[in-house]
Amino acid sequence: MLKRNITLSIVLTTFLSACASAPGNYLDTSRLKEDQQNKPTETYPVKLIDGALVAQQAQAQAAPQVLPPPGPFADPTQYVYRIAPQDILGITVWDHPELTTPNGSTLSSGGNTTQTLGGALQQPYTQALPGQADPYGQTVAHDGTIYFPFVGRIRAAGKTTAQIRDELATKLVPYIRNPQVDVRVLSYRSQKVQVTGDVKTPGPLALSDVPLTLVDAITRSGGSTDSADLQRVRLTRNNKLYVLDANRMLDEGDTTQNVMLQPGDIINVPDRSDSRIFVMGEVKTPAPVTMMKGRLTIADALTQAGGILDTDANPRQIYVMRGMKEKPTTPDVYRLDLTQPDAIMLSSQFQLQPMDVVYVGTAASTTFNRVLQQVLPTVQTLFYLKQLTR
C-alpha cells in the first residue's frame, strides 16, 4: 500500500510539473502583484424595461433637438450673394463692344487650352477657373476693388452685382450717354464650404447666387456612401460643432435640419462606426451590430446575433448597458425579462442608443455544467492513474 501511494505521488508530481512546459500561450503571473484593496465595490441599479419606461423613452426622443444659430438670412428667399476678393465679374456695356467681352472671345484657363465665355458660365460650383485670372473678366483684387475703363478703381467686395451695376452706370454718364450696364459673376471663387467624410466626391463647394443647404452640399458632393451615417452629420461653424440629422429631412420632411450653409462651414459626414451596438453573452453569434438610420431595438439586435442560445441562455437576464463611454463608473443598466407575456412587444419597442451593450445572461444549470466540463478531465486522469498503479 505504501509503495502504491509513493508511486501515485511521483506520477502526480511529474504530471503537474509538466504543465509548466506544456505547449501553448500562457502568462507567467509570478511577477504580477495585485492590490487587494482596489477591489470594485460599486453597485449599479437596474431598471426593469416595462411599458412605462418605453413610453418615457419615446417622449424623450421626440423632444426638439438643438439647432445651429440662425444665419444672416432667416429665409432662403432673402438670400443675396455679395462679391468678395477672387471672384471674377463679367461687365457688359451695351452698344460699346470696346468695354464688353465679345461673346465669341475666349478666356484663358491657365494652360494651353481656352474656353468660350459660355463655357465659363457653365463652370460647376465645385471648382473655379484653373490657372491665372481671366484676362477679359474683372477679377476682384485682394483689397476688394476692380478697375474699369473711364471709371478707375471702385470697391466691389461686400456689394451685390446690382449695386456694382448701378455705380458703374452712374460713373459712366460723363463719357457715355444713357449707359446700359450689366454685371454678372463669371466664376465664384471667394466663398467656399468644405464637405468631408463619407461622400462620393469630398472637397470644397463654392457658394454662389443660389443658397446652398445641407442636402444640396451632400448631393453636389456625389451623395453619401453606403457606410455614411446621415443621422449625425457634423457641422463646424465659427469654431463650434453642431450635429444635424439629415435623415429627418429626407425621411420625415423636417426642414429645420436642412440649414443654409455659410462661408467657412465644414460639413463632415461620418461613417457608422460610432453607431454600433455590441451583442454579447449567450447568443449564437456575438458581434457588433450597426444601427440603420439611427434606429435599432433589442429584438433587432438579438435577431442579427442569431438569437439567444436555447440551452445556455437565461431569458430573464437580457441586460442593456448604456453610457459607459460618458459615464464609465456609473452606467445605466436596464433588464428585460423575456419570460413575461409582454416581453416580445417591449423588445421590439425599446430603442437602443449608439455604443449600447446588450448582454444575455447565463443559466445557472449551464454554469454548473461548464464547471463539470472543466473538472471532469482531471477526475478521469486521476482515475486512470489509479488504475495503472494497481
pLDDT tier, 253 (very low <50, low <70, confident <90, very high otherwise): confident
Judge whether residue 39 has pLDDT over 80: no
- What phi-psi label fits residue 152: left (phi over 0), alpha (psi between -120 and 50 degrees) or beta? left
* CA pair distance 186, 128, nearest whole angstrom: 10
271-301 pLDDT, tens digit each: 888 888 999 999 999 999 988 877 899 999 9
The lowest-confidence range among 190-194, 323-327, 331-335 is 323-327
- Phi, psi of 107, rounded to the nearest 5 degrees: -115, 140
Three cell numbers, residue 293: 438610420
Non-local CB neighbours of 120 within 8 Å, separated by 6+ positions: 107, 129, 134, 137, 186, 187
121-164 pLDDT, tens digit each: 444 443 444 444 444 678 899 999 999 989 999 999 999 999 99
Taking each continuous run of H as one helix and of E as one strand, the counts in the chain are 9, 18
Partner residues linked to 362 by β-bridges: 313
Question: pLDDT at position 9, please?
Answer: 56
CB 157 within 8 A of CB 87: no
Q: Which residue has the cell 464688353?
A: 100
Which residue segments constitute the domains of the chain, with CATH numbers given? 82-187 (3.30.1950.10), 192-272 (3.10.560.10), 275-367 (3.10.560.10)
Partner residues linked to 195 by β-bridges: 203, 267
* CA pair distance 16, 8, nearest whole angstrom: 12
304-330 pLDDT, tens digit each: 999 998 888 899 999 999 987 777 778
Non-local CB neighbours of 101 within 8 Å, separated by 6+ positions: 90, 92, 117, 136, 137
Mean local confidence (pLDDT), 220-225: 91
